Amino acid sequence: MSNNNTKKSIADLLKPKKKYVYPCHCVLCKGAEVDPRTQEKHTRDNILWRSDDYDSRRNQMNAIAGRKQNKPNIILSVEKNLVGASSIKKRKRDDNQQISPIENSADSSIPNSFLSPIMSSSLATPKNPQPDTTTLDNMVNDASKPKTSYFHDPESNNENNNEYDNNNIWEMEYDVNDIYNINQEEESSPKNNSDNDDEEYHIYNIDQEGEGLFASPIIDSDKKVFELGNLDDSINTEIILWAFKFQQRYRLSDIALEALIKFLHILLIRINKSQFEGFPTSIYKAKKLLGVIQPKMCMAVCTSCHKLHSAKDIIAYQKEGNFAMMNCLHEEFADNLILKCRNKCNNPLSALKKNKNGIIAVPRMLYPKPSIRQQLSMLYQRPGFEDMLQLSGAQRNSNSNIYSDIYDGRVWKTFPFDDGSSFFTTETAVTHLGLLFNLDWFQLFTYTQHSTGALYASICNLLRSERNKPENIIYLGFLPGPKEVGLERINHYLAPIVDEFLELWKGWRVPKTHRCPDGLDIKVALIVGSSDIPATRKLFGHGSAAMKCNRCEKRSTYSREYKKTHYGGMQDYNKWVTRPANPLLHRQYAHKWLRCFSKASREAHFKEHGVRWSELLRLPYMDPIRFDVVDPMYCLFLDVAKWIIKSIFINQNKLNMEQLHIAQNRMDHVDLPPDIGRIPPKIAIGNDGFSNLTADQWKTFIMIYSTTILWDMLDDNDRKILGHFVRACNLLVARFITEDDLKEAQERLKDMAYLIENTYGPEFITSNIHLALHIPDCCRDYGPIYNFWLFPFERLNGYIGSYPNSNWQIEPELMKIVLKNTFVDYHLSRRWSSGLLDESLYLLMPKKAVGSLALTAEREELQHFLLMRHNTSMLFKIYGTEPIPGQMLKPSYINVVMPLELRGFLCEWYAILYEKEKEDVLKFMDLHMNQHARLQIGAEIFGSMIVGRHENNATILAKWRANNDESTDIYPGEAQYYFEHTIRFPEGSRTHLLAYVKWYKPATTSATRFKHNFMESEVSNTELWKAEYFQKGSDSLLAVYRILCKAVKLKYVMKRPNQQNQQKYFSIVPLNRRFNL
Contact (CB, 8 A) for 400 and 412: no
What would the pLDDT profile of 343-395 be if each residue is shown by its tens digit?
Answer: 889 999 999 988 887 888 999 999 998 899 999 999 999 999 999 998 877 66
Strands, E, within 631-696: which ranges? none
Closest CA to 336 of 477, 207, 457, 179: 179
What would the pLDDT profile of 602-636 be if each residue is shown by its tens digit?
Answer: 999 999 999 999 999 999 999 999 999 999 999 99
Which residues neighbour 340 within 8 Å (Cβ) at sequence distance 6 or greater? 116, 117, 154, 157, 170, 171
pLDDT on residue 284: 92
Residue 718, CA distances (Å) to 804, 995, 1013 in order: 48, 41, 12
pLDDT on residue 212: 65
pLDDT on residue 185: 36
* Cα–Cα distance for residue pair 339/116, rounded to 1 Å: 8
Residue 973 phi, psi (nearest 5):
-160, 170
User: What number of other Cβ atoms are within 10 A of residue 777's Cβ?
Assistant: 20
Beta bridge partners of 1047: 1070
pLDDT on residue 79: 39
Q: Which residue type, as a one-letter code, is found at position 520?
A: L
* Cα–Cα distance for residue pair 157/120, rounded to 1 Å: 14
Contact (CB, 8 A) for 784 and 405: yes
What would the pLDDT profile of 709-722 be if each residue is shown by its tens digit?
Answer: 999 999 999 999 99
What would the pLDDT profile of 463-503 be if each residue is shown by its tens digit?
Answer: 888 899 999 999 999 999 888 998 889 999 999 999 999 99
Closest CA to 524 of 503, 554, 545: 503
pLDDT on residue 808: 78
Residue 539, CA distances (Å) to 289, 451, 455, 732, 891 in order: 41, 17, 11, 26, 51
* Cα–Cα distance for residue pair 772/750, rounded to 1 Å: 9
Which residues neighbour 558 within 8 Å (Cβ) at sequence distance 6 or greater? 564, 565
Closest CA to 613 of 636, 590, 592, 639: 590
pLDDT on residue 1016: 74
Which residues neighbour 902 within 8 Å (Cβ) at sequence distance 6 or greater? 996
pTM of the model: 0.76
Contact (CB, 8 A) for 1037 and 1068: no
| pLDDT under 50: residue ranges of the chain | 1-17, 72-210, 223, 849-857, 869-870, 1075-1077
Chain centroid to CA 885:
33
N-to-C CA span, the chain = 101
* Sequential DSSP letters for 892-954: EEEEEEPPHHHHHHHHHHHHHHHT--HHHHHTTB-SEEEEEEEEEETTEEE--TTSGGGGGG-
